[in-house]
Amino acid sequence: MAELVIEAVAFAHGQRMVLSGFGLRLAHGRIGCLLGPSGCGKTTVLRLVAGLARVAGGRIEVGGRTISSPAVHVPPEARHIGLVFQDHALFPHLTVAENVAFGLSGVERARRGERVAGLLAALGLTGRERNYPHELSGGQQQRVALARALAPRPQILLLDEPFSSLDAEMRERLGGELRRLLVEEQVTALLVTHDQHEAFALADEIGVMHDGRIEQWATPYQLYHQPASRFVADFVGQGALVKGVVLDRHHVRMELGVIAGEVPMECFQGCAACERDCHVDILLRPDDVVHDDASPRTARVVHKAFRGADILYTLRLPSGTEVLSLVPSHHNHALGEEIGVRLDVDHVVAFRADKATSAEAARIAHPEPAS
């Protein structure tokens, strides 16, 4: 069973510590993703798992076997790990079929042919067996790269920004095909990307990375609706942090009204009272702010992004705070127009705020009645 375990791994580039105490656990057959901005260390993790770099501390284990530690370094070719890069890295002098069969040299010829034909059919490349890489589109080349990596049935498949050179429509289509194939092949896979849409479409579990560590390892749903830190809340999805005041352990008041839900204990740390009047920042996603003509609360449209079925509005509240709202596109409002809004929040996502002025806190906790 090809479970991937990374424990307390450290890696330095010169004097700069890239990873320190890094760890994750990816069960057999699961698709994991490292998501984060450039320079956060996510590609370094793939290089360490692949054996292209050596760990300075900790260990990496695949299927119960240690492949990397300060004392152990299994060569890349002996790790049974597949690699897919963003630049395809196909052999230009080999045909499609020869590229895919490259890692099957020890396999009996008939079985090798069956494996190649099966992967090419699964990836929509039947009929392209005799083509050379330069005769294929970018999407077709990446399909060949995927087939070549999967052909030897690796224990782990590593994918480093595999679709970054493709257009959005091709990325979405190929991502769906890849996920289906990985599930069918029961391959444990680890993807690296900075594109959260790609991560959400492909991965079972995602680790959001920041400065060489994982801020949160969770499902896409949990990352979006239950972010563990401000960084995750800001990096994953769209939204706005707005000021609020805790009324009690289950209610927070903000400019748009009172929301009910369990207020995280972290919001109370260091407070003397701890049950009320703590200042917090509340995360509001675009689907939390609903356009409602009947609402007495209004906001001014300051920006709009038409998306076909819906429009993403940036709305300015009377205080000057800006929030996002996703609205069906038949509600087409002009810039500067005042529209009715209300909250539709089923849980509290809050972070302890910087100390607010007493005047600001009083305004939030005791707002003027809506006219």
From 213, 233, 253, give the residue that closes a domain.
233
Is the pLDDT score of 359 beyond 70? Answer: no
The number of domains in the chain is 2
Q: What is the mean pLDDT of residues 236-251?
A: 89
From 199, 233, 267, give the residue that closes a domain.
233
Is the pLDDT score of 105 beyond 90? Answer: no
Mean pLDDT of the chain: 89
Q: Which residues contact 115 (CB under 8 A, 6 or more apart)?
A: 101, 104, 107, 151
Is 251 in contact with 291 (CB distance < 8 Å)?
Answer: no
Distance CA 244, CA 282 (A): 6
Does one domain contain both 228 and 242?
A: no
Q: What is the mean pLDDT of residues 82-110?
A: 90
Domain of 244, CATH number, reads 2.40.50.140
pLDDT tens-digit map of 18-38 = 999 999 999 999 999 999 988
Is 150 in contact with 116 (CB distance < 8 Å)?
Answer: no
Domain of 195, CATH number, reads 3.40.50.300
Q: What is the mean pLDDT of residues 265-274?
A: 60
Q: Whole-prediction pTM value?
A: 0.85
DSSP bridge partners of 9:
22
pLDDT tens-digit map of 286-307 = 999 999 999 999 999 999 999 9
The proportion of the chain whose per-residue pLDDT surpasses 90, expressed as a percent, equals 70
Q: What is the per-residue DSSP string for 102-134?
A: GGGTTS-HHHHHHHHHHHHHHTT-TT-TT--GG
Q: Which residues contact 24 (CB under 8 A, 6 or more apart)?
A: 4, 5, 6, 32, 207, 214, 217
Distance CA 33, CA 199 (A): 6
Model confidence band, residue 360 (pLDDT cutoffs 50, 70, 90): low
Question: Which residue range is the domain that position 329 belongs to?
Answer: 238-365
Residue with structure tokens 């709305």?
315
Is 343 in contact with 257 (CB distance < 8 Å)?
Answer: yes
Model confidence band, residue 61 (pLDDT cutoffs 50, 70, 90): very high
Distance CA 58, CA 10 (A): 6
Confidence at residue 125, expressed as pLDDT on a 0 to 100 scale: 93
Does one domain contain both 226 and 361?
A: no
From 198, 233, 268, give the residue that closes a domain.
233
Does one domain contain both 72 and 163?
A: yes
Does one domain contain both 160 and 253?
A: no
